[in-house]
Amino acid sequence: MPAVPDAWVIVGSGRCGLQLARTMAAAGLAVSGVACRGARGHARLRRWLPGVAAVAPAAELPAVTALLIAVPDDALASCAADLARRRPSTLRIALHTSGLHSATVLAPLQERGVATGSFHPLVTFPAPGGPLVPVAGALAAVEGDAAAVRAGLRLARALGMAGRRLDASEKTRYHAAAAIAANLTHVLVVEARSLMEAAGFGRREAARALLPLIDAAMTAALGARGLERLTGPIARGDAGTVRAHLSVLDPHLAAAYRAVAVLGLARLQASGACEAVAKSALDSVLRSLTATDRCGSLPADERT
């Protein structure tokens, strides 16, 4: 094998697929085509990678040595079966970009002699177009067949990423960590900004005000062993403040606040950082609503 497979087709023209195709092309890798579904995908490809061929869903794949499959997790199995039927004879490597699934989801390709694996870039791709998402220095988690792992690690190096082999059995735990760090945090930050707006701040003003706080909190969290650097009412055992917060939040956000606070309190207690009196007071506030009260505060179609 060459250092990096000498020709790629990217399967998928969404956020991840098109951003990776653009990044690979910018790094000098040969992207021979992007498999697109629908007019929107073709339009995006024409705009952002005008020199790269669009591959229609039923069309024969170009004679490449490697595929990078960037489709939704639930579509991977059917996509692999379809690709196996129309793979070129030159194909040697197939990687998918799911952080959850292992190489086994590409079994139809593996059964036809293709080395399969996964290549998950630990970055967010907010949109397929616009500025290239910087990937240099970011983690790329790789697993699968030996040849696929080698190709994935070489691809990571070519893109300036930090490639790391990951055991397939740990992918669910790894991906849950990524979802908590990025996706759930995203939701909570947007909710925090909305509360600032409700308090009279403009959207951009709220964002500017929160950014230093968020940056400092994330820096402290990532530099800590546990919750020893946590600040705020849970760390202080300030039950009155928590009660006041819960009183102004809508039921959905109050439930999220309560769930995270209960988790934080449990971790603080386990580490010995929470006094019994403070824990008792916080427990009383955080568990004050009964199951009936909680259900009654939700729309009827969301009650269990």
The string of DSSP letters for 94-151 reads EEE--SS--GGGGHHHHTTT-EEEEEEE-S----SSSSPPP-TT-EEEEEESHHHHHH
Q: What is the pLDDT of residue 279?
A: 65
Q: By residue range, what is the domain housing residue 246?
A: 224-304
Statement to judge: residues 199 and 249 lie in one domain:
no
Q: What is the pLDDT of residue 304?
A: 31
Residue 245 included in any domain: yes
Statement to judge: residues 157 and 174 lie in one domain:
no
Number of separate domains in the chain: 3
Statement to judge: residues 51 and 26 lie in one domain:
yes
Higher pLDDT pick, 37 / 157 = 157
Statement to judge: residues 201 and 265 lie in one domain:
no
Collect contacts of 145-148 with beta carbons under 8 A, ≥24 apart.
145/103, 145/110, 145/115, 145/116, 145/117, 146/115, 147/1, 147/92, 147/93, 147/115, 148/93, 148/94, 148/95, 148/103, 148/115, 148/116, 148/117
* Whether residue 292 has pLDDT greater than 70: no
Instruction: Among 151, 166, 181, identify where a domain stops.
Output: 166
Instruction: Among 178, 210, 242, identify where a domain stops.
Output: 210
* Whether residue 188 has pLDDT greater than 50: yes
Beta strands 93-96 and 115-121 are parallel
* Whether residue 269 has pLDDT greater than 50: yes
What confidence category does residue 3 fall into, taking pLDDT thresholds of 50, 70 and 90? low
Residue 215 included in any domain: no
Statement to judge: residues 94 and 40 lie in one domain:
yes
Statement to judge: residues 144 and 184 lie in one domain:
no
Collect contacts of 125-131 with beta carbons under 8 A, ≥24 apart.
125/15, 125/16, 125/19, 126/15, 127/15, 128/13, 128/14, 128/15, 128/17, 128/18, 128/19, 128/44, 128/48, 129/18, 129/44, 129/47, 129/48
Statement to judge: residues 156 and 21 lie in one domain:
yes
* Whether residue 127 has pLDDT greater than 70: yes
Statement to judge: residues 30 and 132 lie in one domain:
yes
Q: What mean pLDDT do residues 31-50 have? A: 93
* Whether residue 233 has pLDDT greater than 70: yes
Average pLDDT, the chain: 90
Residue 218 included in any domain: no
Higher pLDDT pick, 300 / 152 = 152
